[in-house]
Amino acid sequence: MTQNLQTESLRARRVVMGIPLLWLLLLFLLPFLIVLKLSFSETRLAIPPYAPLLEWLGGVPHSALHISNYAFLFTDPLYISAYLYSLKVAIVSTFYCLLLGYPMAYVIARAQGTWRTVLLMLVVLPFWTSFLLRVYAWIGLLKHNGVINNILMYLGLIHQPLTMLQTDFAVYVGIVYSYLPFMILPLYANLEKHDGALLEAAADLGARPFTAFVRVTLPQSIPGIIAGSLLVFIPAVGEYVVPSLLGRTDQLMIGRVLSDEFFENRDWPLASAVAILMLLLLVIPIMLFQRSGGRELESHH
Amino acid sequence: MVDKQQAYVRIEGVSKRFGDFVAVDDVTLDIYRGEIFCLLGGSGSGKTTLLRMLAGFETPSSGRILVDGRDMSTVPPYERPVNMMFQSYALFPHMSVEKNIAFGLEQERLGRDEIRRRVGEMLDIVKMGNFGHRKPHQLSGGQRQRIALARSLIKRPKLLLLDEPLAALDRKLREHTQFELINIQKALGVTFIVVTHDQEEAMTLSTRMGVMNHGRIVQVGTPSQIYESPGTRFIADFIGSVNLFEGQVLGEAEERRRIRCNELGCVIRVDRHLPSAQDATVWAAVRPEKIHMTREPPDGLAQVSPDTENVARGRVRGIAYMGDASVYLVALDSGREVRVTLPNSARDAEQRIGPDEIVFLSWHTGSPVVLTE
């Protein structure tokens, strides 16, 4: 009887585990392997626009594994500069998201009942409108004769309109604005669980509110900071829409390079190499971090 | 040693209101240096709110609190010469035991060596010398309790507030820890104010205690004063178990010492004059362990009549065997049930009074406490 129940629950568990596994297999691993394969092949003017990895030349199998796509990425400064610029934009945007998001998450976590629900609603509210539309709206705000310049001129604070569109500033504004909820929500989830008695204990032992925050609240919110930062940083590196609409024209981010290689130049293998390298750049540091720091943090909870 | 010369903590007419709810209602209380003072009360009696006002986490709605003659009204918690041990212990989960204990000293900006020395000493005092590098989640409940105590004592406060210090411990550990708490309190000469809902804990720990109900202090005294001479029916009932008999004071020329009690079917005689008027309704409180239960009427009494003094007749209804003692429930002829505790001094069960036996209950004139409210 118990034997039956055990096999039953084991089977049920396999089914439950199987669904997400299948999802990841079909929609992540398989496409990834295709892209990986593509990145090692050669461009061709054909449909599809690449050469197969294994060719039969006169009845003899002939391998055509090329690393030239990767080599090319390092020879042309365009790619390296796009990678570095993307990393810089992602790091700066993540930093500002944290700077803005932490106090907001803190206030929401401290708010009482109805207030808390309302504030959380407000954080999620922008998702009701398309991301693309909201970024477009920023053009109207930032452009030469846009809302912000008009207001500043009217108030007499400036006499010449400020150039905000197509600058790094506009990209930061766009990314921080778009991804702020992804910073706030995990931070809120973390801060909300904090035990208020710990801050009272710190005060009781002589810590002023700021010291208590730095020594008690902040260290305990590190898992939330990491989760939020990753949720902002990873998509920010590959961001395409924001820099395309608001960003500089003289400096591309890697997402734009990838799309250009793919759609404009129809160089699928090179585009795939760009994608794989970006993935490695993101995944390897995160994996290393999780191996060392992640486990240490885990043990606190 | 308790220094009764001057109050160390003086609570003057302190009230605390949360909206319409009065959590603490006009409490005035003096606590002396070296005391272990227990605030005892049920949940919602205001004891914890009073403690939190002493720590500075709540501000009184009216009245003031003085510690060592200094008004604490405007002093924030981080500047008070008071430390608190929290009910949940509130140990910092991301810090080691040593770091937790050192936290208070680090706020005073003491030197690293000085901090290490004092933390080491404190760990020895609470017998946790080998656990300095552990994290709180690696400790048992009893060990966490010690660390919480060590952390709250590290700044050498003159006054330590303890919020249900033993509530999270199991019974055996609690008894052991009680005595240790008393030893540490004596050794360090700290004044303790302990909040508890557990009357046993209050009795064994405290030098004096205050019983709270509905935000008010209803009685202050030593544990034995409160147990033996409760001031009201509430206290008599709250502290330990008690039989309360309602009756009327009999009018007598020189001195009123007798109460007619229909529930008991006899007259209660006490050893002192009753200040209440003739026929006034009063309650006589008799503790279960102060009632004698015998198979034969005491003093060769032949019959129990309504005029008999301090003897009632009944039938054993139920027996609860507690090991060291047995609690008997005896039904009187009036239908009233009386609780009687007898020590199980003999091992032989044959000698004990069994169920359904007719028994006689009697007590000394000094045993009943007469209450008017």
Question: Which chain B residues touch A210 with a CB distance below 8 Å?
Answer: none
Q: What is the model's pLDDT at position A296? A: 53
Instruction: Assess contact for A220 and B94: CB atoms under 8 A.
Output: yes
Q: What is the model's pLDDT at position A294? A: 54
Taking the CA atoms of residue A182, residue A188, residue A189 and residue A190 in that order, the dihedral angle to the nearest 10 degrees is 110
* pLDDT-derived band at A52, boundaries 50, 70, 90: confident
Q: Hey, are the CB atoms on B92 and A201 less than 8 Å from each other?
A: yes
Q: Calculate mean pLDDT across residues B115-122.
A: 95
* 3-state SS class at B26: strand
Among A45-49, A198-202, B129-133, which stretch is predicted with the lowest mean pLDDT?
A: A45-49
Instruction: Assess contact for B158 and B191: CB atoms under 8 A.
Output: yes
Taking 90 as the threshold, does the pLDDT of residue B173 lie above it? no
Q: What are the start-end ranges of the E strands in chain B? A: 3-18, 21-33, 36-41, 62-67, 70-71, 82-85, 159-163, 191-196, 208-213, 216-221, 243-249, 258-261, 266-269, 281-286, 292-294, 311-321, 325-332, 337-343, 358-362, 369-371
Question: Which chain B residues touch A195 with a CB distance below 8 Å?
Answer: 88, 90
Smallest CA-to-CA distance from A104 within A210, A10, A188 is with A188
Q: What is the model's pLDDT at position A2? A: 60
Q: What is the model's pLDDT at position A169? A: 95
Q: Tell me A155's DSSP state.
A: T
Residue B122 and residue B244: Cα distance in Å, rounded? 48
What stretch of H or E contains A151? helix A147-154
Q: Calculate mean pLDDT across residues B173-193.
A: 89
Question: In a mutagenesis test of the B interface, which of A205, A218, A222, A296 is the best target, namely the one with the most B β-carbons within 10 Å?
Answer: A205
Q: Calculate mean pLDDT across residues B67-88.
A: 92
Smallest CA-to-CA distance from B157 within B221, B78, B245, B243 is with B78
Q: Spell out a b/e string for B84-115, using b for 16 or more CB atoms within 10 Å of the CB, else e.
A: bbbbebbbbbbbbbbbbbbbbbbbeeeeeeeb
Which are the contacts of A142, defined by CB distance < 8 A and separation ≥ 6?
A148, A164, A165, A170, A173, A246
Smallest CA-to-CA distance from A198 within B107, B93, B194 is with B93
Which are the contacts of B16, defined by CB distance < 8 A and separation ≥ 6?
B22, B23, B24, B46, B49, B50, B53, B58, B60, B61, B215
Q: In the CATH hierarchy, which fold is given to the domain comprising A70-298?
A: MetI-like fold (1.10.3720)
Average of per-residue pLDDT values in chain B: 90
Q: What is the pLDDT of residues B46-63, one digit of tens each?
A: 999 999 999 999 999 999
> Quick one: closest CA in B to A222, which residue?
B94
Instruction: Assess contact for A105 and A184: CB atoms under 8 A.
Output: yes
Average of per-residue pLDDT values in chain A: 89
User: Does residue A297 sit at the B interface (CB-CB below 8 Å)?
Assistant: no
Tokens 């608190």, located at residue:
B84
The packing angle between helices A77-110 and A222-237, to 10°, is 140
Instruction: Assess contact for B14 and B58: CB atoms under 8 A.
Output: no
Instruction: Assess contact for A73 and A273: CB atoms under 8 A.
Output: yes
Chain B closest-CA separation from residue A301 CA (Å): 8
Question: Which chain A residues touch B107 with a CB distance below 8 Å?
Answer: 205-207, 211
Provide the chain B residues 112-151 that lie in CB contact (below 8 A) with chain A.
135, 137, 151
Smallest CA-to-CA distance from B275 within B256, B252, B294 is with B256
Q: Hey, are the CB atoms on B90 and A300 less than 8 Å from each other?
A: no
B126 or B299, which is more confident? B126
Smallest CA-to-CA distance from B220 within B235, B205, B240, B199 is with B235
Peptide bond into B81 cis (omega under 30): no
What stretch of H or E contains A61? strand A60-63
Q: What is the pLDDT of residues A232-281, one digit of tens each?
A: 999 999 999 999 999 998 899 999 999 999 999 888 899 999 999 999 88
Q: Calculate mean pLDDT across residues A212-229.
A: 94
User: Does residue B77 sit at the A interface (CB-CB below 8 Å)?
Assistant: yes
> Quick one: closest CA in B to A221, which residue?
B94
Q: Is the Cα torsion angle B59, B36, B80, B125 positive or negative in sign?
A: negative
Length of chain B in terms of residues written = 373
Q: What is the model's pLDDT at position B3? A: 59
Give the start-to-end residue ranges of the domains of chain A. 70-298
Q: What is the model's pLDDT at position A50? A: 80
> Quick one: closest CA in B to A195, which residue?
B90
Q: Calculate mean pLDDT across residues A160-189.
A: 95
Question: In a mutagenesis test of the A interface, which of B85, B103, B149 is the best target, namely the one with the most A β-carbons within 10 Å?
Answer: B103
Q: Hey, are the CB atoms on B107 and A299 less than 8 Å from each other?
A: no
User: Does residue B156 sit at the A interface (CB-CB below 8 Å)?
Assistant: no
Q: Is the Cα torsion angle A191, A194, A196, A200 positive or negative in sign?
A: negative
* pLDDT-derived band at A301, boundaries 50, 70, 90: very low
Tokens 């808390």, located at residue:
A116
Taking 90 as the threshold, does the pLDDT of residue A51 lie above it? no
Taking 90 as the threshold, does the pLDDT of residue A16 lie above it? no
Q: What is the model's pLDDT at position B253? A: 67
What stretch of H or E contains A211? helix A209-212
Question: Which chain A residues touch B59 with a CB distance below 8 Å?
Answer: none
Among A126-135, A289-298, B199-208, B242-251, which stretch is predicted with the lowest mean pLDDT?
A: A289-298
Smallest CA-to-CA distance from A240 within A230, A252, A232 is with A252
User: Does residue B314 sit at the A interface (CB-CB below 8 Å)?
Assistant: no
User: Does residue A208 sit at the B interface (CB-CB below 8 Å)?
Assistant: yes
Strand partners, B320: B327
Q: What is the model's pLDDT at position B168? A: 80
